[in-house]
Amino acid sequence: MRETFRCDTYHAFEADSGGEVMSEEQKNNTLKQRTAWLSIISNSLLVILKLIVGIYTGAVSLISEAAHSAVDLLAAVIAFYAVKTAIEPPDDQHEYGHGKFENLSSAVEALLIVFAAVWIIYESVHKLSNLREPEYLEYGILIMIISIVINYIVSGRLMKVAKQTHSQALEADGLHLRADIWTSMGVLAGLVAIKLTGWLWLDPISAIVVAGIIFKAGYTMTVESAKELTDVSLPIEDEKIIEDIFNEHKAVINFHKLRTRRSGAYRLLDVHIILDKDMHLDKVHDICDQLEHKLKEALGMCDVVIHAEPSTHQEEKEFSRQLDQK
């Protein structure tokens, strides 16, 4: 006996709740795409400003920051297309949907961050052997302040929408921009120090420190993305919620073989539940519907497969004993 139900936008629901869920999902998808566009626009602006000011002042740390923002822009474009692809309905070749495109986007972004860090270190070491006094540092200081403010606003928006829509691509983009805030503060501190002390070596050294922070962020994102792409189980907190839902249902005698994973914004799980062997099929269907709605309310977007099994005499006896104790 097998009951299959899915808590996502691609499958029909009962008439009393389907329209509302579909409308909510459509709003989330639109919101994700608009937020991804915001990241593209902000990063495009920062790349242009940092590159112009960096070349004009001759500050390698600013040019390095422009390169970093260019990587951010590329990552934002990838995130946008990943979000756009991930919301497409399942097809013959992607029967579980396209959620993994968000995970893949996060992995690509992480590798881009690592590449940017290595390039910055290379350029900074070269600059150490050819020190040149940057000019018009006040322009560089101003652009870094603008960069910090813009990234603070945009990253906050990205993280808020990522949490609301369970989008890993937007979360990765938001975390990336938050790391940029710290690197921008490092560059800003270096430029101010040069202005005050005249120590030219502070420019490439601050760029190397920035690269170290960027590399760490890229490495962390790479590890997290690899976990999602290799179908690591959902966090313990999520699995505890799932287990509680099955344990609290009065008709569920027991459950086992719970397996969980994530695909983009979707949580996927399958489980075997033990029900009364004399229960009619329509009753089994009703119970699975009840579990579906509880899981959807607790976890949001999810794809759930339930395999119902008849109880044995020993399981019924143990279940009755537990009910008596309650």
Q: Of the ranges 29-43, 102-116, 261-275, 294-308, which one carries the lowest mean pLDDT score?
A: 102-116
Domain ranges of the chain: 18-229, 236-325
- Is pTM beyond 0.75 here? no
Q: Going by CATH, does the domain composed of 18-229 fall within 1.20.1510.10?
A: yes
Burial 100-109 (b: 16+ CB within 10 A, else e): bbbbbbbbbb
- Find the mean pLDDT for residues 30-46: 86
H or E segment at 268?
strand 266-275
Residues whose CB is less than 8 angstroms from the CB of residue 177 and which lie 6 or more positions away in sequence, other chains included = 39, 72, 151, 154, 155, 158
Per-residue pLDDT for 192 more than 80? Answer: yes
Q: How far apart are CA 240 and CA 260, in angstroms?
A: 12
Per-residue pLDDT for 22 more than 60? Answer: no
Structure tokens at 287: 């119970």
Please count the CA atoms within 13 angstroms of the CA of 77 that sit on its side-chain side: 8
Q: How confident is the model at residue 83, as a pLDDT?
A: 78
Question: Which segment, 12-21, 45-54, 78-87, 308-317, is predicted with the most confidence on average?
Answer: 45-54
Q: What percent of the chain lies above the pLDDT cut of 90?
A: 8
Residue 281: φ, ψ to 5°: -60, -40
- 220-231 confidence digits (pLDDT tens): 878 888 887 777
Q: How confident is the model at residue 272, as a pLDDT?
A: 93
Q: What percent of the chain lies above the pLDDT cut of 70?
A: 85
- 84-116 confidence digits (pLDDT tens): 777 777 777 777 777 778 778 778 878 877 887
Closest C-alpha to 255, from 224, 282, 287? 287
Q: Of the ranges 23-37, 244-258, 297-311, which one carries the lowest mean pLDDT score?
A: 23-37
- Find the mean pLDDT for residues 254-264: 86
- The sign of the torsion formed by the CA atoms of 15, 21, 25, 31 equals positive
Higher pLDDT: 210 or 23? It is 210
Q: Which CATH superfamily is domain 236-325 in?
A: Cation efflux protein, cytoplasmic domain (3.30.70.1350)
pLDDT band at 135 (very low <50, low <70, confident <90, very high): low
- 142-155 confidence digits (pLDDT tens): 888 998 999 899 99
Q: How confident is the model at residue 242, as a pLDDT?
A: 92
Three-state SS at 95: coil
Q: How confident is the model at residue 316, as a pLDDT?
A: 64
- 264-281 confidence digits (pLDDT tens): 767 888 999 999 888 898
Per-residue pLDDT for 291 more than 50? Answer: yes
Structure tokens at 80: 């946008």
